[in-house]
Structure 1
Amino acid sequence: MKPLVISAEERAGRRERIEQKVQEAGMEGAVIFSPTSIFYLVGFHFIPTERPMALVLTDGKTTLFVPRLEHEHAETVSDADTVKSYPEYPSELHPMRRLAQLLGELGLRAGKIGVDADGYGSSWGYRGPRLSEVLPEADVVPGVGMWVEEMRMSKSDAEIALIRESCRWGNLAHVLLQRYSVAGAREIDISMRATSEATSAMIDTLGPIYRAAGSASASAGFRGQIGPNSALPHAVTINAILKQGDTLVTGAGADIYGYHSELERTMFVGEPNAEQRRFFEHMLSAQDLAISLIKPGIPCNAIEQEMQRFYKENNLVPYTRHHTGHNIGLQGHEMPFLDLGDETILQPGMLFTIEPGFYVEGLGGFRHSDTIVVTKDGSESLTYYPRQLEDLICGV
């Protein structure tokens, strides 16, 4: 069997599309600093640290600019025509000035140069000049990053296949998470056990065809969304101990060559009370409505408008906190978004998490999330975990 990866041929097509845009914009070339964009275009996944890295596109050629410690790695796994490296950061000559020298050698000292950012950025202690500072004769033009992000909005068949595989192993991780979610168990113990067992099963099953570009795991957990704390949509782990009657909001997925899916469920430790059941049913109806609205040719904001109408009609507005969903792929959140301010037209191949949620202080949060792909005549759910309340009661 072939490895679960994106082919070099598909990445070459991506670069051709970007290079065409660069030429149409009258640019001499482009410089890209985003790790995600670099991986998307040349297949080089790396750990972004204080050491600057960049991908240079010019005259149909690609050059990776990396620190010395990444040189062999980049030559081994990337599609780049050339790899150039610098000694280390910080060094006597700042890497951005070395990059300016390289760009001069590639004919990009002056003229219009497209960029995704005016220099490298990192929270790992990096400090350095902007690209425009080290290339004073050039016209550094932003916007290339948006071109790449727009390309990533609609997934190819190969990308969808990887995300479908991610859903498969996220499903297993969630099965185990629910199995181990009983009163008296600790949040972290449950998550670690489910994640470890699901990851082992995934690696054993896929064997040599599996390739990671990130976490290399199938995972499931709560991220602190337990009991009243589940009313915080982006809670953090608090090492809670599950109690009878708790509302649980879960999350599961898997990294398949850097591609992700999203599976979330609202569960209960033991029988839920009447209020828990009421909000759960509202949430399920909202998700059903959102899924039914997904089809090509309509703008993202039209879906959110219908969702807001549903919330108002059912007096649920005070319990809402976020939009209906977002695209997903190489990153957990990608554009476009199912929100009032996004007018992007849905197209086949776009993926969305469908996750309307309600958050009730003192009671908990109520949110399912499923990964949906837009098809030529509607949509298909790539996730398939049970959604009904009676299937999501733990400890029975």
Structure 2
Amino acid sequence: MTQRPQFYRFHQGERQLPFDATEYDARLAGLRRIMAARGVEAAVFTSMQNVAYYSGFLYCAFGRPYGLVVTASDCVTISAGIDGAQPWRRSHGDAITYTDWQRDNYWRAVASVTGPGRTIGVEGDHLTLTASAALDTFLAPAARVDLAAATMRQRMYKSPAELDLIRAGAAVADIGGHAIRDAVHPGAREIDIAIAGRDAMELEIARRFPQAEYRDTWVWFQSGINTDGAHNPVTARALRPGDILSLNTFPMISGYYTALERTLFLHEADADSLRIWRANVAAHELGLSLLKPGMRCAEITERINAFFAERDLLRYRSFGYGHSFGILSHYYGREAGLELREDVDTVLEPGMVISMEPMLTIPEGQPGAGGYREHDIAIITEDGHENITGFPYGPEANIVD
């Protein structure tokens, strides 16, 4: 009987990646400098964000392990046979496919690249207890080094090619926002409006990026009480005149996330709602004015906190005031080192991309009840920032007739 392989290489078709080879070579060169400084001989990445950042391949796990192994000379994705040759077509470097007829063939494939007894770099914030035990069994590392923080910091500085992609994403988000605004009317359901925005964005992404993979673009369109949380899923609630609305569009382009978020009202907003809305808009504009090189994330947070405290609104603040952009989505890739929170001391530098998104949530039963949020994306430049969000905000623009 023919012996089935534990792993093999399945390479066919033309390669199509989000960026050209020089972009990935530069990323890998930066990674190898990090590895050399820490004495790492082989890095074993398991998160979607790092696999995609260094190779271009955004995997779909579906209960199976995936990874990327980087050494001084190799860059190899490790993928399951169910994906055929797609991982190779979407990877920079080599690609190995493991078979599922024998348990732990994934780790045998990883070990074929790392070799035994090496100093292994891992992602301490992603490696599970089960995977950690398997790594020790199959790689027998001489030592482990956590590369999660260092690789996150590398991802926080965007290349010119990344910035171009992020700008395109922001423009697509604006298109989705206009489609949503056009679909708003009494009786329309949240789900119907969300579909209009999502469809508009996916069609625009396909027009701008005809060689890309299309997945994961979504909309959170919320109304009434459903606006109280920034990440509340869409429902079938029908809109009523006077409703507070939250427009949230999220185009995904080759793993890169962008966003547009706006407060709207249907037909009218009462005096209490207008007061809170305008206060949040003013905080948004204050925050935007602070997005420039040399500012600490915590300092920006403290300034906006003081603004809200002066108006007795700080208790209604829902979360931090912004976060980094790049390879991330609602289920992978957070760059927690670049968030506008009290406990983050990162200093803004040119090439970083960050949002400004203050939110106030007023509980039901109180005047002006609902969630108020505005969201712009800023690229930090040498002397300030470039705001790449174009959709208007505030009562003058977003009370929908």
Report the TM-score when normalising by structure 1.
Answer: 0.89
Residues 100, 134 of structure 1: 8 Å contact kept = no
- Unmatched segments (≥5 aa) in structure 2: 1-15
Aligned to 2:321: 324
Q: How does 1:24-43 map to 2 (within 5 A)?
A: 24-43=37-56
Give the partner amino acid of 1:69: I
Instruction: Please point out which of 250, 253, 256 is paired with 1:256.
Output: 253
Aligned to 2:150: 147
Instruction: Please point out which of 176, 180, 202 is paired with 2:179.
Output: 176
Q: How does 1:198-347 map to 2 (within 5 A)?
A: 198-203=201-206, 205-206=207-208, 208=210, 210-212=211-213, 214-215=215-216, 217=217, 219-222=218-221, 225-332=222-329, 333-335=334-336, 336-347=338-349
CA displacement 1:85-124 (0-9 Å, x = unmatched) = 2211xx4332354246424xx4x311321112498659xx
Instruction: Please point out which of 78, 84, 92 is paired with 2:91.
Output: 78
Quick one: structure 1 residues 12 and 357, their matched pair in 2 at CA, closer, same or farther if it must change by over 3 Å? same
Cα distance in 2 for partners of 1:24, 1:8 equals 24
TM-aligned CA deviation for residue 175 of structure 1: 0.6
Instruction: Please point out which of 162, 166, 186 is paired with 1:163.
Output: 166
Aligned to 1:64: 77
Residues 202, 214 of structure 2: 8 Å contact kept = no
Aligned to 2:356: 354
Cα distance in 2 for partners of 1:75, 1:344 equals 36
TM-aligned CA deviation for residue 255 of structure 1: 1.9
Quick one: structure 1 residues 184 and 358, their matched pair in 2 at CA, closer, same or farther if it must change by over 3 Å? same
SS for the counterpart of 1:44 is coil
TM-aligned CA deviation for residue 359 of structure 1: 0.7
Moved more, 192-201 or 322-331: 192-201
Quick one: structure 1 residues 4 and 163, their matched pair in 2 at CA, closer, same or farther if it must change by over 3 Å? farther
Aligned to 1:102: 112
SS for the counterpart of 2:339 is strand
Structure 1 vs Structure 2 CA RMSD? 2.3
Cα distance in 1 for partners of 2:45, 2:305 equals 38
Residues 189, 235 of structure 2: 8 Å contact kept = no
Q: Percent identity?
A: 26
Cα distance in 2 for partners of 1:149, 1:56 equals 17
CA displacement 1:313-352 (0-9 Å, x = unmatched) = 1111221121111111111443310111000110011111
Aligned to 2:382: 376
Residues 371, 381 of structure 1: 8 Å contact kept = yes
TM-aligned CA deviation for residue 234 of structure 1: 2.8
SS for the counterpart of 1:325 is coil
Moved more, 47-56 or 139-148: 139-148
TM-aligned CA deviation for residue 140 of structure 1: 4.1
Cα distance in 2 for partners of 1:281, 1:370 equals 16
SS for the counterpart of 1:138 is coil
CA displacement 1:35-85 (0-9 Å, x = unmatched) = 2211110111221222222211223212222222335222222112x3222
Give the partner amino acid of 1:186: R
Quick one: structure 1 residues 234 and 75, their matched pair in 2 at CA, closer, same or farther if it must change by over 3 Å? closer
Cα distance in 2 for partners of 1:386, 1:137 equals 56
Cα distance in 2 for partners of 1:47, 1:322 equals 29
Aligned to 2:371: 365
Cα distance in 1 for partners of 2:339, 2:95 equals 36
CA displacement 1:338-376 (0-9 Å, x = unmatched) = 111000110011111111111111211111011111111
Moved more, 370-379 or 59-68: 59-68
Aligned to 2:9: none
Q: How does 1:188-207 map to 2 (within 5 A)?
A: 188-203=191-206, 205-206=207-208
Report the TM-score when normalising by structure 2.
Answer: 0.87
TM-aligned CA deviation for residue 134 of structure 1: 1.0
SS for the counterpart of 2:391 is coil
Give runs of ≥4 in structure 1 deviating > 6 Å.
none
Residues 17, 90 of structure 2: 8 Å contact kept = no
Quick one: structure 1 residues 270 and 373, their matched pair in 2 at CA, closer, same or farther if it must change by over 3 Å? same
Instruction: Please point out which of 115, 120, 144 is paired with 2:122.
Output: 115
Quick one: structure 1 residues 100 and 389, their matched pair in 2 at CA, closer, same or farther if it must change by over 3 Å? closer
Residues 263, 383 of structure 1: 8 Å contact kept = yes
Give the partner amino acid of 1:45: L
Moved more, 265-274 or 46-55: 46-55
